[in-house]
Structure 1
């Protein structure tokens, strides 16, 4: 079984500024700095932010739990011209639920000179026998990340 979920999040900063954060290591560093309790902690295990980079995200514990899960992803595409970044899950997260393939695509789309849209998508492949786990696929954390990063950039624009 294959599928995709996607969400467009409007952000009040120029697309070029948002892409500067999203394209490489800065996104993980910023998330780690401004939202570790919401989105988790990010470590870069390998690479310089280009294709082949491996990142580990350790999720914050769910309410009532003492520890969170994790996922490791490999950057598979960084397209500066089209402002598209793609990663593939290599361990943890949805892979731990039994998904065969999970790809995350983040696209920064220019609306006008002062705003953009962050299109967050998850594509997946999973055995038909595990159809019940498909309901767990959500882009909500990616939407939340776009909102938090956009708000941070808006509030700190004069110092960037």
Structure 2
């Protein structure tokens, strides 16, 4: 069973500035530090923010959807021209609940010289025998992280 969820937020900063923050590991680590009610920590397991980088995201107990405690995600695409970063969960998280894959795409879209749109899209596929677990997917932790990113960008213009 295939599913998708998305959310976007408009930010009054240039897309190039937003992409500088969003393209690598910085925003993930920074977000975890400032969203301590949700995340325990984010560790860079390997890499420097380019394709092949692996992060381990650990949630505070009881704060993640479906009582997920952690997941590891691998940067599969970092496209500076399109300002798009895609990660695939490679361990834990929804994979432990019978998902074939769980992908997160972050895009920074230019709206004008001083305004951009941050967009996050979740894509996932669940094994047929675990199809009911698709209802456990929640974009809310990602919305919270995206909102933090927008606020951070506005404060640090």
The question of a shared fold, defined as TM-score above 0.5 by the shorter chain, is answered with: yes
2:57 aligns with 57
Structure 1 segment 3-152 matched on structure 2, within 5 A: 3-62=3-62, 69-152=69-152
Task: Kindly indicate whether the alpha-carbon contact (under 8 Å) linking 1:76 and 1:88 is maintained by their aligned counterparts in 2.
Answer: yes
Task: Kindly indicate whether the alpha-carbon contact (under 8 Å) linking 2:57 and 2:72 is maintained by their aligned counterparts in 1.
Answer: yes
* Cα deviation 1:122-152 (Å, max 9, x = unaligned): 1111112212111111222222111111112
CA distance in 1 between counterparts of 2:130 and 2:74 reads: 24
Structure with the bigger percentage of strand: 2
5+ long unaligned stretches in structure 1: none
5+ long unaligned stretches in structure 2: none
Q: TM-score, normalised by structure 1?
A: 0.88
CA distance in 2 between counterparts of 1:12 and 1:33 reads: 24
Count of aligned pairs:
154
- Report the CA distance between 1:154 and its aligned residue: 1.0
Task: Kindly indicate whether the alpha-carbon contact (under 8 Å) linking 1:11 and 1:146 is maintained by their aligned counterparts in 2.
Answer: no
CA distance in 2 between counterparts of 1:143 and 1:54 reads: 21
| Structure 1 stretches of at least 4 aligned residues deviating more than 6 Å after TM superposition | none
Q: TM-score, normalised by structure 2?
A: 0.89
- Report the CA distance between 1:26 and its aligned residue: 1.1
CA distance in 2 between counterparts of 1:40 and 1:79 reads: 29
